[in-house]
Structure 1
Amino acid sequence: MTRHLPSRRQALLAGLALAAAGCAPLPRAGTASASSRQLPQERVRAAAPFPMPDISVPDFSASRRFPITDFGAAQGDQQKTSAAIAQAIAAAHAAGSGVVVVPEGVWPTAKIHLKSNVNLHVAKGATLLFSERPDDYLPAVMTTWEGLECYNYSPLVYAYGCDNVAITGEGTLKAKLDVWKVWYARPKPHMDALVALYHLAAKRVPVEQRQMAVGQANLRPQFVQFNRCRNVLVEDVSIVDSPFWVLHPYLSRDVVIRRVKVRAHGHNNDGVDPEMSQNVLVEDCVFDQGDDAISVKSGRDQDAWRLNVPSRNIIMRNCRVKNGHQLMAIGSELSGGVENVFVDNCHFDNAGSGARSTINNILFVKTNERRGGYVKNIHVSNVSATRIAGGVLSVETDVLYQWRDLVPTYERRLTPIEGLHVSNVKVDEAAFVCRIQGEAEMPVKDVSLRGVTVAKVLEAPVSTVNVQGFVHAA
């Protein structure tokens, strides 16, 4: 596939954005930036049924600490605290590396923009309480909405083009939902804005002309987005509530998310959305979601075909899901391709969630005739669940939701799906074991279920349409 190189103006704007963020441009494949060479790295190994490279994340153990109180942060004063956090991040970055410390207490803040070689450390007993005012997330930044690039409200925590960034500590990041929960309703002006963005992307209008933080577009920002970053660590923190997706590594590489607790029951509140990202490990986390626990994505339609970057080498292990739509979803924004995904030793139990179980499937692959891309080499093993509304494996190739009638198909591209392998799964109750609806023109290939046990099945256990090479063994 041909790559669409950025225009001179796009390259200039991207360079200015990187400079403003205090981040280095991403190095070419196979090279390391100066910043990644200077800061010590932790090498994380994760076994997988495919060649999985070691993941490099920053080690801040010897870095200087920058308490936000040294820069004038004051509990109860959002303006002072926001300014102090920004100044502490700038100072840590200028020093070569640093740990920005949020001490015990409740600290109201607006947006936080990270810089290279900076660790935002939220100490035990500390809460960063993020403003509910959309104006606090302006000016607009280069970001995404459901797989389409645009300029929109800044994610609450945002890193663009950075190396060696981290969010750590046993404290809490919490979003006030006063306005965002009103925006959950997605009224007509919002849907009109999404339709407009869809057409802009399909016609390959330059991203800087896709300004969405205007009028009543009401495109909610992600909570945490690492956009075009390398060497990313999120560790030990709790994240409560979110305007949109919670943790979004986008076009990023070498990402570890470990021992993180997420509780967010709003609309589109996925836990982790690795998108066009590679070498990602999510381990020892607890998810209590209003949407998917993890949803692997790789962009939508023409935008993803332009970027042409697959999501690859993604592992979810030793995680507990209290609630959510799917334990692992793939798509439907998968136009850049998804390969080498491994889910191991994860468990769904709904215990202590405080919400009625809404989980549908253990593994759900969804796409449609507009996506293209591909899905291959997906593995799920050693998973247990109590009662689920769907099944262990579900594949749907005609998922368009409201978009079926809202916008036309500019270009029809089907999604090749092959190599889905599920083993050693135990479920107390499910509607079915496996349901696959493939395309007659492009059947799903090479699917295996081994050692999958569902104690109580409410419907036909297995239903497959347009599948080649299906194995279901005890």
Structure 2
Amino acid sequence: MLTKSISRRSLILTGCALPVVATPGMAAVVRPQLKHNQLSVPAPFDMPSIGVPDFSASRQFVITDYGAVPDDKRRNKIAISKAISEAHSVGSGVVVVPPGTWEVGSIHLRSNVNLHLAKGATLLFSDDPKDYLPAVQTSWEGIECFNYSPLIYAFNCRNVAITGSGTLQARLDLWKIWYARPKAHMDALVELYQLARHNVAVAKRQMATGEKNLRPHFIQFNRCQNVLVEDVSIVGSPFWTLHPLLCRDVVIRRLNVFAHGHNNDGVDPEMSQNVLIEDCKFDQGDDAVSVKSGRDMDAWRLGVPAKNVVMRNCRIVNGHQMMAIGSELSAGIENVLVDDCHFVGSGKLREGTTVPMNNLLFVKTNERRGGYVKNIHMSHVTATALEGGVLAVATDVLYQWKTLLPTYERRLTPIRDIHVSDVNVGTAQFRCSILGEADMPVRDVTLEKVKVKTLLSAPLTLQHVEKFAETE
């Protein structure tokens, strides 16, 4: 499909400016700007419209035209890179992966490029760490660093997409070994924290060395704007599955994720704003969606809150939480809506990949985080069985960090304005458990029409909470 030809005069008359590119010995070439669709998302807060890139008029670049063959990882990486580069150079383009299984290493996207997987296409990603070098600017659990490239990576891009009904699949043989997190890995986490604490430049925080074994994300959009991920299936992941970091205007829809390794969250919008996650299916070994805003001093340095995040009409088969807030939230999190989402699993741990759902909404922080949490909404949600409850708030969640490092600076997290309504659950331990801090109570929490058919323990646990209300 070729780009539509539009006269420059007609575009000027309609107010559309075009970039002009001059090449030596040639007349200036006019390149059409990529169109955007403005998506309005209803929410109980001021949710700006989201700009969604429209590649319908963009030229296609099929990877086989650039030398791709199914079982040659090296040739496929070169072919995909060439197709992406050419699509970018002409103004916009759709890089097409045709039916078949294509072995590959890392893929780096560029602005105005859509990586499109045709029906029956699978990109099979290597588990050889050398395929994800040289190191790139990324992050590990809320701290910036240079580490192995995410399997698919975009840095500082505008108008970037992954679409199509094909599959992204990660080989996991080596990553499964790295899941074990031996002492060398834990020492590396301490090293990275200390580098951030002493404000060492991110470029000097080199983590892709030795036995640090900091696994790469599957997909990371880092400092990007106008991001679209649509229709693809994802199977397996070394680390977090889809990570929009410091992004703006992100749409993730009709995603089908199956990832049951360590830290295998589905989507982690971190320090990102204006994000829509809709019509997705999550089958996770960790949280389905976890909104984050960085860890401790690194997030205080960046100072960009996560804001305006909507998750709607999603189905969760397995996963620790339907929606987690934190625990990396040191730059603040506000304006989050979970609506019309449903946990459809059994909630019981069995052999295989069944992971019990702990909580539908879990706000988690600790005395080191600072930041803030406010204006969180969940409505029209159902679940079969929960190991925890509908709403949980915990202010002492440190996981392995409790013994790895002391508290260098105590900063509590103000948490307020959490509103839950129209929830129906079959079986749960509780409806609501809030464990706040005596020095900074959780404030302004409402539960309305929250029903659990079978409660296995006390329905409410409220510790250091001010202005709590529950109505039928």
Q: TM-score, normalised by structure 2?
A: 0.92
- 2:52, 2:249 within 8 Å by CA — same for their partners in 1? yes
Give the gaps of 5 or more residues in structure 2: 1-16, 21-30
- 2:239, 2:261 within 8 Å by CA — same for their partners in 1? yes
Q: Pick from 117, 121, 142 the counterpart of residue 116 of structure 2.
A: 121
- 2:346, 2:385 within 8 Å by CA — same for their partners in 1? no
Map 1:40-439 → 2, pairs under 5 A: 40-350=35-345, 355-439=353-437
SS of 2:206 mapped into structure 1: coil
Q: Pick from 456, 459, 468 the counterpart of residue 457 of structure 2.
A: 459
Distance 1:356 1:406 in 2: 30
- 2:346, 2:384 within 8 Å by CA — same for their partners in 1? no
What's the CA shift string for 1:82-128, capped at 9, x where partnerless? 11000000000001000000000000000000000000001110000
Shift of 1:410: 1.6
Distance 2:298 2:363 in 1: 20
Structure 1 segments (4+ residues) deviating >3 Å: 32-37, 351-354
Q: TM-score, normalised by structure 1?
A: 0.92
* Letter of the structure 2 residue corresponding to residue 179 of structure 1: L
- 1:255, 1:281 within 8 Å by CA — same for their partners in 2? yes
- 1:122, 1:172 within 8 Å by CA — same for their partners in 2? yes
- Per the alignment, do residues 205 and 55 of structure 1 end up closer, same or farther by CA in structure 2, a change over 3 Å counting? same
Distance 2:32 2:47 in 1: 22
Aligned length: 443
* Letter of the structure 2 residue corresponding to residue 68 of structure 1: I
Partner of 1:470: 468
* Letter of the structure 1 residue corresponding to residue 439 of structure 2: E
Shift of 1:357: 3.6
Distance 2:189 2:369 in 1: 17
SS of 1:386 mapped into structure 2: strand
- Per the alignment, do residues 33 and 407 of structure 1 end up closer, same or farther by CA in structure 2, a change over 3 Å counting? farther
Shift of 1:214: 0.3
What's the CA shift string for 1:206-243, capped at 9, x where partnerless? 11110000000000000000000000000000000000
Distance 1:75 1:356 in 2: 33
- 1:202, 1:410 within 8 Å by CA — same for their partners in 2? no
Asked whether 1:440 is paired with 2:438, we answer: yes
Root-mean-square deviation (CA, aligned residues, Å) is: 1.6
Shift of 1:355: 2.8
Partner of 2:24: none
Percent identical among aligned pairs is 66
Q: Larger deviation: 33-42 or 443-452? A: 33-42
Shift of 1:351: 6.6
Give the gaps of 5 or more residues in structure 1: 1-31
Shift of 1:33: 12
SS of 2:199 mapped into structure 1: coil
Distance 1:200 1:182 in 2: 26
Q: Larger deviation: 435-444 or 344-353? A: 344-353
Shift of 1:190: 0.2
* Letter of the structure 2 residue corresponding to residue 429 of structure 1: T
Partner of 1:8: none
Distance 1:131 1:355 in 2: 22
- 2:285, 2:355 within 8 Å by CA — same for their partners in 1? no
What's the CA shift string for 1:311-343, capped at 9, x where partnerless? 000000000000000000000100000000000
Partner of 1:15: none
Distance 1:131 1:225 in 2: 17
* Letter of the structure 1 residue corresponding to residue 224 of structure 2: C
